[in-house]
């Protein structure tokens, strides 16, 4: 599939003034709205990015509903903000405990968790080629590649005494949203940005902001925005964001920042933990009851794998990651 954009396109668009970006975003919102005759909605998480998107969409089309998937994995103030913004609230069919028990813990990144999960599955004739790619970087045609191979530094995860997977986001967030899409025939606006991850950048380069031709069409009209754009917009329009962010201030380098947490997401998630090793210390300070539930408990199941029990059992998982992977995740 030929990319719609290149790296320099993103860099050029990210350098534009905020007022220009707002107009470009509004244009993409109108295109999406008109393509689907108004059968659209805004996916809100309670975080600041989706709140900015909801503000822009509602200014253009006040009747477009905001939909919040209440996973129970948010900071309390983020969940409250999601409920406040939402016209409709969805819930997942499985709890996070059930997801971890069945599929595994989310660690390091979505990609690494997926690859490791595939390697932890019993070896069969059907998955032999996938295992060869993940372990040795050899495709089914015999070509050696790096893409799709587990980096050497993460191969120790294959032997973890607990299951690892990337399924939590799919089950807890995407599945309820896709079910809503099919039930209502509405297509979502989603407040993600291309510079948040390699995968999101790749998707933007392939599809642009409005992915009309995907299996599950979605619009990400903030894709070319940056974190600074979001914070400037919040100040410009005096939006009341979730309390967990604290105040927006200017640092010594004239950069806007928050006095509280910078990113929210799911508080139990360990994706990106190597770049944010104090994540659970912040949870301990902000919401000690949630922290206690995350860290305590756990047991080995009949197959000898560590699973949640009277708590999520993260203390054991983190200790194992630190010891066997040389990590420094603090709690």
Instruction: Judge whether residue 1 has pLDDT over 80.
Output: no
Both tokens of 258, joined, read 């928050």
How many whole angstroms from its chain centre is CA 38? 26
Instruction: Judge whether residue 202 has pLDDT over 60.
Output: yes
162 C-beta neighbours (distance < 10 Å), count: 23
- Torsion angle, CA of 10/256/22/89, rounded to 10 degrees? 100
The rounded distance, in Å, linking the Cα atoms of 264 and 272 is 12
300 C-beta neighbours (distance < 10 Å), count: 14
List, for residues 78-98, the tens digit of each pLDDT value.
999 999 999 999 999 999 999
Stretch (H or E) spanning 107: strand 107-108
The rounded distance, in Å, linking the Cα atoms of 322 and 229 is 36
Name the 3-class secondary structure at 162.
Answer: strand
For domain 7-95+169-258, the CATH superfamily is: HUPs (3.40.50.620)
**Domains of the chain: which residue ranges?**
7-95+169-258, 107-159, 272-325
Predicted pLDDT of residue 122: 94
CB of 252 closer than 8 Å to CB of 58 = no
Predicted pLDDT of residue 264: 85
The rounded distance, in Å, linking the Cα atoms of 330 and 318 is 8
Predicted pLDDT of residue 209: 96
List, for residues 225-265, the tens digit of each pLDDT value.
999 999 999 999 999 999 999 999 998 889 999 999 888 88
- The dihedral built from the CA positions of residue 96, 246, 209 and 34, taken in this order, carries a sign that is positive
Least confident window among 16-30, 37-51, 187-201, 230-244? 187-201
Instruction: Judge whether residue 190 has pLDDT over 60.
Output: yes
| pTM for the predicted model, two decimal places | 0.88
The rounded distance, in Å, linking the Cα atoms of 331 and 321 is 13
Predicted pLDDT of residue 3: 78
List, for residues 36-76, the tens digit of each pLDDT value.
999 999 999 999 999 999 999 999 999 999 999 999 999 99
pLDDT band at 158; cut points 50, 70, 90: very high
CB of 151 closer than 8 Å to CB of 109 = no
Q: Residue 296 half-sphere exposure, CB side, CA atoms within 13 Å?
A: 9
pLDDT band at 155; cut points 50, 70, 90: very high
CB of 244 closer than 8 Å to CB of 258 = no
């Amino acid at each position: 599939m030929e990319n719609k954009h290149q790296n320099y396109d993103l860099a050029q668009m990210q350098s534009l003034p905020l007022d220009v970006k707002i107009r470009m975003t509004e244009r993409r919102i109108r295109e999406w709205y008109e393509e689907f005759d108004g059968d659209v909605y805004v996916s809100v998480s309670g975080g600041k990015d989706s709140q900015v998107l909801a503000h822009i969409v509602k200014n253009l089309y006040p009747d477009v509903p905001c939909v919040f998937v209440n996973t129970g994995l948010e900071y309390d103030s983020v969940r409250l903000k999601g409920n406040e913004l939402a016209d409709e609230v969805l819930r997942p069919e499985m709890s996070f405990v059930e997801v971890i028990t069945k599929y595994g813990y989310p660690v390091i990144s979505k990609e690494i968790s997926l690859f490791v999960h595939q390697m932890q599955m019993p070896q069969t004739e059907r998955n032999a080629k996938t295992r060869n790619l993940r372990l040795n970087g050899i495709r089914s045609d015999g070509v050696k590649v790096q893409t799709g191979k587990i980096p050497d530094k993460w191969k120790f995860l294959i032997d973890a005494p607990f299951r690892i997977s990337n399924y939590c986001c799919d089950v807890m967030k995407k599945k309820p949203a896709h079910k809503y899409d099919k039930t209502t025939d509405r297509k979502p606006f989603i407040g993600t940005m291309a510079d948040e991850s390699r995968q999101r950048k790749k998707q933007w380069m392939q599809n642009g902001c409005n992915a009309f031709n995907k299996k599950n069409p979605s619009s990400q009209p903030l894709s070319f925005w940056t974190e600074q754009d979001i914070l400037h917009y919040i100040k410009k329009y005096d939006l009341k964001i979730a309390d967990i962010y604290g105040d927006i201030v200017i640092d010594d380098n004239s950069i806007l920042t928050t006095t509280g947490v910078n990113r929210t997401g799911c508080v139990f998630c360990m994706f990106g933990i190597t770049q944010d090793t104090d994540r659970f210390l912040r949870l301990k300070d902000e919401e000690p009851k949630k922290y206690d539930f995350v860290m305590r408990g756990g047991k080995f199941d009949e197959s000898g794998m560590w699973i949640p029990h009277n708590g999520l059992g993260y203390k054991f998982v983190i200790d194992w990651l630190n010891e066997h992977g040389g990590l420094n995740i603090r709690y």
